[in-house]
Structure 1
Amino acid sequence: MPEFSAPQSFTIAEDASAVDSVFAHAAADPTLVVYKRKIGGRWTDVTAADFAAQVTAVAKGLIALGVKQGDRVALMSATRYEWPLVDFAIWAAGGVTVPIYETSSAEQVRWILEDSAAIDLVVENATHAATVKAVAAEATALRGVYQIEASDGGRGVVEELTELGADVPDSEVEARVAALKSSDPATLIYTSGTTGRPKGCQLTHSNLIAESKGILDSSLGTLLKTPGVSTLMFLPMAHVLARAVSIASFDAGAALGHTSDIPNLVPTFGEFHPDFILSVPRVFEKVYNSARAKAHGEGKGKIFDAAAETAIAWSEAQDKGGPGLVLKVKHALFDKLVFSKLRAALGGKCQLAISGGAPLGARLGHFFRGIGITIYEGYGLTETSAAFAVNTIGEQKVGSVGKPLAGNSVRIADDGEILLSGPVVFSGYWRNENATADAIENGWFHTGDLGSVDADGYITITGR
């Protein structure tokens, strides 16, 4: 069986947890800008000290509610600043976060709440609260539902929990954090699968830390750890990919912003000016198709198409010894006419992008690399804490999904199935031993995907 293992580059302490970086940043550099949140139409900095204080305050409120070590707390919201705030606070209280997509149906919400036995639920708004109300009676463990956005003159969850936990000493949060073990579950993420009810994928603090360290120990980490770097998160935070990259970015000290206003994404890029972005192929396809349609609509279609072919040829030449003189001249010309405008549409500062969730076509990958924004494609599943493999700076094969992150191994079974093992691989499905046994055999996770791995470790997906 073809197999490749990436060397281990880090260790994870037994008492480590995914929330440690919140307090480490606050202690090491209190003024470090870790988030940017939009208030009154303007992006406002949130420092490491401010964020740690807010996490502590919300965690104290959760403790006052009665959240105990290992209790599940569900979170149903679109992508916004309060998402990571509540997520980290749940961990600081010793709890386990159960993300729920804000687009979930009442039946999906019912099953997740019932199966996870979540004791409390934080929703974004009154609409979500109404969805939950219809099924709350069947979620017998659920005690309370709290809204991020206040309604009817009430208080939002952050204000409410801060007030509720005012009498809880900070030392209680410190004790809860100190009691966490890296082997403790950090989150239950429900995966739809192809048959049956969604299964709760149990990821430990160690899984999330390994994912973050693997990303940051790769060459991508060089950019993420550059002082002053920022990124704008717009994918659903309930998805493991957005969550994992958010955690890695936070650990690196990058400043994160959030938006769920996808129709106005391009104007938001222009306001925020991200240095890198995380997305899925359909967003990159939309950027390309929209630019092409606009050019054709303005009678500049031939120029755009010629520029696109030049970008693709220029990128392909990078893998074959470099472009020749004629191609260099054409590329420079189209950079002024076309490519610079496309880069401006992504905020003007974007140096690279990370793509996951679905295959990115090689032609689209070459196009974006040709205009000056390299898209590094990765591969992973919820069961591998998001990215298991990723193309990185200086180590990229367009068309592949990259090499395994540090400490992870890939094997191709005789029937072509991709098998994975390593520190990012999950511990099992929540309360579902049979499904766990079917998925993990002799320490190898059976992905159900078909593919190959070459001698350098680059994985290519061929089917399922």
Structure 2
Amino acid sequence: MMSRTILEFLDESVKKYADRPFLYEAKSGSEYTSLTYRQVQEQSKQFAAGLLSLGVQAGDRIALLSEGKNNWVIGELGILHAGAICVPLSVKLESEQDISFRLNHSETRMVLASDQQIAKLRRMKNAFPTVEQYILLDEEDGIEKDELLFDTVIEKGVQALTQNPLFLDERIQGVTPESLANISYTSGTTANPKGIMLTHSNYVFNAEQSVDHIKGIPSHFRTLLILPWDHSFGHTAGIYSFMKCGASIASVAMGKSPIEVLRNVPKSLKAINPHMMMSVPALAANFRKNIEAGIEKKGKRTATLFRKALKLAYTYNKEGFNKGTGARFWMKPLLSVYDRLIFSKVRQSFASNMAYFIGGGALLDIELQRFFYAIGIPMYQGYGLSEATPVISANSAHAHKLGSSGKPLPRM
């Protein structure tokens, strides 16, 4: 398989899916708007040209500290078009020590930050001696002298490209498959965080492996990317795998605080009605809790029926790969009745398009796997390491065993 850059990867998708929606975002309420593949590429190039106008050099490190949103993707792709290296950081970082270690260790020159995150950074800027500029992803009044709005950088890029349409070309041509794309920091729970250096080809190759492993993602599929976008799982399995296939990514509707964003998840689910989602155990457990609470509200009769249906489904499904084998084959007609009476209604109330989850990030309790498999939204567990960009193995609709981490990806 030919090595390619993320920029070439994007270009291939734009040629195939130019006018298909790539990114969905809701800035207020649950009213989503979308950007097409063509628009995302155009804006990322404009942002890159703006970065060059600000003096960004090939190989410069630019950090990205934000909740998931359109400008997260456009910002990262812009950084890469500028020949720079993205340093994505977790929004869960709170202490000056945690943030300053990563910014100083990576020798970051600029930081892209959301409104929530810049409020955190302003009180500790003196701890980041290498940082020269902060670019705000959201509209904001009263910005400080070392801050610029994202749209201002875009405007600088548009002006530069209008004066010279080839302004960006040489920088793009200097990006190779072995160029660093990302410095991804580990959590640092046992020692100082490690900065994992990942190349363009690392991301492209793992995204293609992941897509091939699940036998493709239809271009009409949408996902609601609830996981942190800086996390290598969401980064590769979400953003780049969907980008390869012309499919669509939605962020959770924006809020003024992390709690408000979390509360927006149910209405975002309804608005986007995703076809598949990435999940971690804590999120899966919360989904189950909400589903069961909804069942209990419908009364004792419905709750009793649901528990009987679950018990039968657990027995019929066994470990997934061997469901309905042997004498259990005769349970299928009754299970079909239960599915029509109750499981189908659960799926309808949760997200009627949902085909499956991909689970990772930590061990997924087998009871959770059995539950979601029973209601008809399987949760296929995988395994990965940040150093592997990150997916190593995963279950899929075509080959799965509940309780396992699945088969290795092709060409692993």
Question: Normalised by the size of structure 1, how large is the TM-score?
Answer: 0.79
Secondary structure at the aligned position of 1:42 is classed as coil
For 2:196, the aligned partner's letter is: C
Q: Aligned partners of 2:252 and 2:36: how far apart in 1? A: 19
With 130-139 and 366-375 compared, the bigger mean Cα shift is at 130-139
> For each residue in 1:99-145, what CA deviation from the matched residue of structure 2 results, as whole angstroms up to 9, or x when unmatched?
111221122111111111100001101x4223223332232211011
> For each residue in 1:189-225, what CA deviation from the matched residue of structure 2 results, as whole angstroms up to 9, or x when unmatched?
111244221111111111111111101222x242x1x
For 1:149, the aligned partner's letter is: D
Matched, 1:121 2:123: no
Q: Aligned partners of 2:182 and 2:34: how far apart in 1? A: 28
Q: Aligned partners of 1:329 and 1:251: how far apart in 2? A: 39
Q: Report the counterpart of residue 208 of structure 1 in structure 2.
A: 203
For 1:312, the aligned partner's letter is: Y
For 1:269, the aligned partner's letter is: L
Q: Aligned partners of 1:197 and 1:48: how far apart in 2? A: 38
User: How do 1:380-399 and structure 2 match up within 5 A?
Assistant: 380-399=384-403
Give, in angstroms, the shift of residue 12 of structure 1: 3.3
For 1:110, the aligned partner's letter is: S
Secondary structure at the aligned position of 1:346 is classed as helix
Q: Report the counterpart of residue 60 of structure 1 in structure 2.
A: 49
Give, in angstroms, the shift of residue 336 of structure 1: 2.5
Q: Report the counterpart of residue 310 of structure 2 in structure 1.
A: 308
- The answer to whether the Cα contact below 8 Å between 1:315 and 1:367 also exists between their aligned partners in 2 is no
Matched, 1:277 2:272: no
Give, in angstroms, the shift of residue 341 of structure 1: 2.5
Give, in angstroms, the shift of residue 340 of structure 1: 1.4
- The answer to whether the Cα contact below 8 Å between 2:321 and 2:400 also exists between their aligned partners in 1 is no
| Aligned residue pair count | 392
Secondary structure at the aligned position of 1:209 is classed as helix
Secondary structure at the aligned position of 1:172 is classed as coil
For 2:108, the aligned partner's letter is: A
Secondary structure at the aligned position of 1:107 is classed as helix
- The answer to whether the Cα contact below 8 Å between 1:73 and 1:118 also exists between their aligned partners in 2 is yes
Q: Report the counterpart of residue 222 of structure 2 in structure 1.
A: 230
> For each residue in 1:348-401, what CA deviation from the matched residue of structure 2 results, as whole angstroms up to 9, or x when unmatched?
011111010011122321221222212111001211112111112211121110
Give, in angstroms, the shift of residue 175 of structure 1: 2.2
Q: In structure 2, do the counterparts of structure 1 residues 129 and 317 end up closer, same or farther at CA, with 3 Å as the change threshold? A: closer
With 285-294 and 136-145 compared, the bigger mean Cα shift is at 285-294
With 26-35 and 227-236 compared, the bigger mean Cα shift is at 26-35
Q: Report the counterpart of residue 411 of structure 2 in structure 1.
A: 407
Secondary structure at the aligned position of 2:108 is classed as coil
For 1:119, the aligned partner's letter is: R
Q: Report the counterpart of residue 355 of structure 1 in structure 2.
A: 359
- The answer to whether the Cα contact below 8 Å between 1:60 and 1:170 also exists between their aligned partners in 2 is no
Q: Aligned partners of 2:188 and 2:131: how far apart in 1? A: 25
Give, in angstroms, the shift of residue 325 of structure 1: 5.6
Q: Report the counterpart of residue 255 of structure 1 in structure 2.
A: 248
Q: Aligned partners of 2:189 and 2:42: how far apart in 1? A: 42
With 21-30 and 199-208 compared, the bigger mean Cα shift is at 21-30
- The answer to whether the Cα contact below 8 Å between 2:221 and 2:248 also exists between their aligned partners in 1 is yes
> For each residue in 1:314-341, what CA deviation from the matched residue of structure 2 results, as whole angstroms up to 9, or x when unmatched?
3217533626465223312221332112
Give, in angstroms, the shift of residue 60 of structure 1: 0.8
- The answer to whether the Cα contact below 8 Å between 1:266 and 1:345 also exists between their aligned partners in 2 is no
Q: In structure 2, do the counterparts of structure 1 residues 26 and 301 end up closer, same or farther at CA, with 3 Å as the change threshold? A: closer
Q: Report the counterpart of residue 125 of structure 2 in structure 1.
A: 136
Secondary structure at the aligned position of 1:140 is classed as coil
Q: Report the counterpart of residue 231 of structure 2 in structure 1.
A: 239
Q: Aligned partners of 1:29 and 1:373: how far apart in 2? A: 28
Matched, 1:30 2:18: yes
Q: Aligned partners of 1:98 and 1:318: how far apart in 2? A: 39
Q: Aligned partners of 1:349 and 1:388: how far apart in 2? A: 27
Q: In structure 2, do the counterparts of structure 1 residues 221 and 69 end up closer, same or farther at CA, with 3 Å as the change threshold? A: farther
Q: Aligned partners of 1:366 and 1:113: how far apart in 2? A: 42
Q: Report the counterpart of residue 420 of structure 1 in structure 2.
A: none
- The answer to whether the Cα contact below 8 Å between 2:320 and 2:402 also exists between their aligned partners in 1 is no
Secondary structure at the aligned position of 1:335 is classed as helix
Aligned counterpart in structure 1 of residue 173 of structure 2, from 171, 178, 185: 178
Q: In structure 2, do the counterparts of structure 1 residues 312 and 87 end up closer, same or farther at CA, with 3 Å as the change threshold? A: same
- The answer to whether the Cα contact below 8 Å between 1:122 and 1:146 also exists between their aligned partners in 2 is yes
**Structure 1 vs Structure 2: percent identity of aligned residues?**
24
Aligned counterpart in structure 2 of residue 151 of structure 1, from 134, 140, 144: 140
Aligned counterpart in structure 1 of residue 33 of structure 2, from 44, 55, 59: 44
For 1:32, the aligned partner's letter is: R
Structure 1: any 5+ residue segments left out of the alignment? 1-10, 409-464
Give, in angstroms, the shift of residue 37 of structure 1: 2.5
Structure 2: any 5+ residue segments left out of the alignment? 254-260
Q: In structure 2, do the counterparts of structure 1 residues 276 and 128 end up closer, same or farther at CA, with 3 Å as the change threshold? A: same
Q: Aligned partners of 2:122 and 2:132: how far apart in 1? A: 12
Q: Report the counterpart of residue 108 of structure 1 in structure 2.
A: 98
> For each residue in 1:288-321, what CA deviation from the matched residue of structure 2 results, as whole angstroms up to 9, or x when unmatched?
2222234335324322222221222232175336
Q: Aligned partners of 2:190 and 2:367: how far apart in 1? A: 33
Q: Aligned partners of 2:387 and 2:349: how far apart in 1? A: 34
- The answer to whether the Cα contact below 8 Å between 2:273 and 2:351 also exists between their aligned partners in 1 is yes
Give, in angstroms, the shift of residue 150 of structure 1: 1.8
Q: CA RMSD in A?
A: 2.1
Q: Aligned partners of 1:394 and 1:196: how far apart in 2? A: 40
User: Greater share of strand residues, 1 or 2?
Assistant: 1
Q: In structure 2, do the counterparts of structure 1 residues 395 and 101 end up closer, same or farther at CA, with 3 Å as the change threshold? A: same
Question: Normalised by the size of structure 2, how large is the TM-score?
Answer: 0.89
Q: In structure 2, do the counterparts of structure 1 residues 221 and 59 end up closer, same or farther at CA, with 3 Å as the change threshold? A: farther
- The answer to whether the Cα contact below 8 Å between 2:56 and 2:84 also exists between their aligned partners in 1 is yes
Q: Aligned partners of 1:22 and 1:345: how far apart in 2? A: 35
Q: In structure 2, do the counterparts of structure 1 residues 139 and 64 end up closer, same or farther at CA, with 3 Å as the change threshold? A: same
Q: Aligned partners of 1:205 and 1:89: how far apart in 2? A: 14
